[in-house]
Amino acid sequence: MTIFREKIPGPIVLLDSKRKSESVVNDYFVKYHFDDYLANCSIKQITARIIQKVWVYQNKNQLLIKTKKHSEPTEKLKVAGLNVDLNHFKVFNRKSDLKLSPIEFKLLLFFISNPDTVLSRIKIATEVWGNTNGATLRIIDTHISNLRKKIEEDPKNPRLLTTVRGFGYLFNTKSKREAEG
C-alpha cells in the first residue's frame, strides 16, 4: 500500500457505508496512510471534505509562509533539527527519511506553522481534519503518538512535540535549539 500512497499526489479518503470501530479505523490510518475516513456521509459532506483535503495539498507552501521571515514560499524547510521537503512530502532527520504518512506530514506542518504555541485538540482537529467529531479527537492522540515515534529521539520523553496536560500539544522548537546549541 505504500507504493499506492507514493503514486497519489493528493488526498486519499476512505469512504464506508457503515462506521467501523475506532481500533479498525486507527489501523486503516496507520497501515494504509489514508488522509481521512468518512462513514455513512451524504454526498454534500463527502464533497466538502474532499475539497478541504485537496485545498491542503494544493496550498502546502502557503501553510508555512508565517514560519519564514520573507514572503516567498520555500520548497525546503529546516526546523528543530528536521528537514522538510515540501515538494515530495518528506521529512528527514540527519539525512534519513522519516517516512511520515500524509496525515503525520500535515500534522507536522500544522505544528511547524504554530511553533512554541499550545494547540488544543479541537484546534488541531479543525485545522488538520476539518471537523471536531469525537472520533477525530480521539484519533489525534494516536497520530501524535505515531509522529513522536518518528521525530523524537526518545518518544517516551518527547522534547519537540510535548503534551501540555489539560490544554493540548506544543511543538517546542526552543528546547531543541538549546539542546543543539
Domain ranges for the chain, please list them.
2-180
Q: Cell numbers 474532499 label which residue?
A: 50
Residues forming a β-bridge with 37: 14
Q: Is the pLDDT of residue 118 over 90?
A: yes
pTM of the model: 0.60
Read off the pLDDT of each residue in 117-141 and give the average, rounded to a whole number. Answer: 81
Q: Please, are residues 119 and 111 in contact by the beta-carbon 8 Å criterion?
A: yes
Q: With pLDDT > 90 as the criterion, what percentage of the chain qualifies?
A: 18
Question: Which pLDDT score, from 0 to 100, does residue 134 have?
Answer: 67
**Over the stretch 147-173, which tens digit does the pLDDT of each residue have?**
999 999 899 999 999 999 989 999 998
User: 2-180 adopts what CATH topology?
Assistant: Arc Repressor Mutant, subunit A (1.10.10)
* Cα dihedral value 149, 109, 103, 80, nearest 10: -10
**Over the stretch 15-42, which tens digit does the pLDDT of each residue have?**
888 888 888 877 777 777 777 788 888 8
SS3 call for 61:
coil
Q: What one-letter code names the amino acid at 41?
A: C
Of 80-94, 104-118, 165-179, the poorest mean pLDDT is in 165-179
**Which of 59, 62, 53 shows the shortest CA–CA distance to 128?**
53
Q: 74 pLDDT band (50/70/90 cuts)? A: low
Question: Which pLDDT score, from 0 to 100, does residue 135 have?
Answer: 63
Question: Which pLDDT score, from 0 to 100, does residue 151 have?
Answer: 93
Q: Is the pLDDT of residue 100 over 50?
A: yes
